[in-house]
C-alpha cells in the first residue's frame, strides 16, 4: 500500500500523490486520522491506487538507487560515524549497475 509517514528520509523518497500518499505529522492522532482517510480514498479511487503503485514501481525499476537512497545514507553516516566504512560499502553496492 503506497501510504507512508514522513519519518526520517522517507519524506524525501516519496512524493505525495505522485508515487505514494505521504502523511507529514508528528501527532499520533493526526497520523491515525490521515492514515484512515488515505486508505479510504485509495479504496474509493482504484485508479489513484493503480497510478501511485505504477509510478512507485517505475521509480524502483529505473534503478536510481544511489540517487534515491543518498539522503538516507547521508543521515546514517552522520548518525553513525563509527560505521561509515560499512555504510559506504552499502552505498557502493546499491549504486552498482543493474541495481
pLDDT in tens, 37-96: 999 999 999 999 999 999 888 877 776 666 767 777 777 778 777 776 665 666 565 555
What pLDDT score was predicted for residue 1? 47
CA gap 64, 76 in Å, rounded: 19
**Close Cβ partners of 43 (under 8 Å, ≥ 6 residues apart):** 49
Name the least confident of 3-7, 12-16, 30-34, 58-62: 58-62
**Beta-bridge partner residues of 77:** none
Amino acid at each position: 500500500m503506497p501510504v507512508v509517514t514522513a519519518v526520517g528520509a522517507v519524506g524525501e523518497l516519496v512524493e505525495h500523490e505522485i508515487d505514494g500518499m505521504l502523511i507529514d505529522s508528528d501527532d499520533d492522532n493526526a497520523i491515525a486520522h490521515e492514515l484512515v482517510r488515505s486508505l479510504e480514498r485509495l479504496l474509493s479511487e482504484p485508479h489513484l491506487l493503480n497510478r501511485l503503485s505504477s509510478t512507485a514501481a517505475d521509480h524502483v525499476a529505473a534503478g536510481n538507487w544511489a540517487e534515491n537512497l543518498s539522503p538516507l545514507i547521508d543521515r546514517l553516516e552522520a548518525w553513525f560515524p563509527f560505521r561509515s566504512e560499512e555504510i559506504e560499502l552499502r552505498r557502493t553496492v546499491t549504486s552498482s549497475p543493474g541495481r
